Every structure is written in structure tokens, then in C-alpha cells.
Amino acid sequence: MENETFISCIGLLQSIFGQASPELIKYLLSKFKDIPDETFKSAVSKIIDTFRPTSQTPFPLPAHFNDAMGLSGNNRAVLAVAAVKSAGSSVGPYNSVSFGDRAIHAAINHFGGWVEVSNWHENEWKFQEKKFIEVYEANLAAGNGPEYLPGLCENDFDLKSGLLPPERKAVFLEKIKPHEMVWHGYTQLQVTQKTEPVKQQITGEVSSIADIIKSINPAVSR
């Protein structure tokens, strides 16, 4: 998402619901920075229509943004399935892969591993998707799963690694690093809630929101 989109959207919300704290603005930016512009704009529009401020919650919280973008509850499992399907075609069975979510990895291993699941076609998914979601949600609650999933190249390398000299082994290991998949369901829910305090005071002006963004990354001008 472009910073100017974030600035205009948060500015619009502040004009309706009042000022948000600097800490909240920083957290919202870090949490949703990878969301497409149109998705964030649509979410803000939904929040304007549905959010009802109270004395305890005068400004929309991250949970309200999650709900508006379909990133909470069962929607996360649906997004996880979509990410696995996408990786099946874009990454393929030969490459190792990481979704940044151990529960996805555990679910894929439950069904035979990355090489097997990456080759699922529409018929396999139609038959297995409901069960995949159940397994994913169970592992999500338990916090189970490996850090990444090896592909065919890495599996083959494991069998032959003892035959390679150290210099060739290092080159091969570099080539088989897992592909890091970015998907909105997980990346937007895993961001830590710890934020550093900022010195600026919110005035409700767009320039103040821009100053907060710059306090996160001074090199960013937009």
C-alpha cells in the first residue's frame, strides 16, 4: 500500500471519529502496509458505514480493519488455502517453500508434504479443501508445524549431500533456500503489537500522519 493512501484513509477516519493515537497509527501502518490500496480503501469505507464509536473505543481498532478486510476467523483459513493453491502453480514441487505460518506447513505435511500438495489439481482440492481447513485450524490453535517445507530439489540433495565437496554444497544450499510466500491472511495477523513511542502529537492534519510514518522510516517520503 502506498503511504499516501494510508495517510488519506486514516485522515478521513480521523475527520469522522476523531484523533487516533500515534501508537495506533504506527501499528496500523506496520500491520497493513502490504495490503493493496483498493483493499484498504474498501475496508475504510466499510468501517465508516459500520463502526459505532463508544467512550471506550472512539476510533476503529485493528480488529475492525481485520473484519472489514476478511482477515479474521475462518477467513484466515480460506486465505491460507488460496495461498497454498497459488504457491502450487508459482513455486511448484521442485522448490522449497515457506508461508511464514507453521500451521500451513503442518497441514500440508498431514496430506503428504509439499511435493504432494503442490501437485493437487482442482478435483483434489474440491475433495480435500474442507479437511485441509480443519487440519489447518487445529494446528493453528496448537501452534504446530515446521519452519518450512522442502521441495524435490532439497529432498534429492539430502540423499546426495554426502557426495558433494564443501564448496559445491554451499552453492547448492544457497540455491535451494525456501521461497518466502507473502499472503495477506497471515502477514497481517502476525505483526507484533509492541510499538515505540513517538514524540509527535496528533493534530488531525494529514501532515501529522505523514510525520508518524517518517518516524518509523525516515527515508520514506511517501
Segment 98-132, tens digit of pLDDT: 988 889 999 999 999 999 999 999 899 999 999 99
Length, in residues, of the chain: 222
> Rounded to 5 degrees, what are φ and ψ at 35?
-75, 140
74: nearest Cα among 145, 133, 31, 131: 133
Rounded average pLDDT per 10-residue block, the chain, 222 residues: 89 93 89 80 93 90 84 74 89 90 94 96 92 90 86 74 68 73 53 30 49 59 45
pTM: 0.53
Distance of alpha carbon 14 from alpha carbon 9, whole angstroms: 9
Query: What is the three-class DSSP state of 2?
Result: coil
Distance of alpha carbon 109 from alpha carbon 197, whole angstroms: 41
- Joined grid coordinates for residue 138: 487445529
Distance of alpha carbon 208 from alpha carbon 139, whole angstroms: 42
Half-sphere exposure of 116 (CA within 13 A, CB side): 10
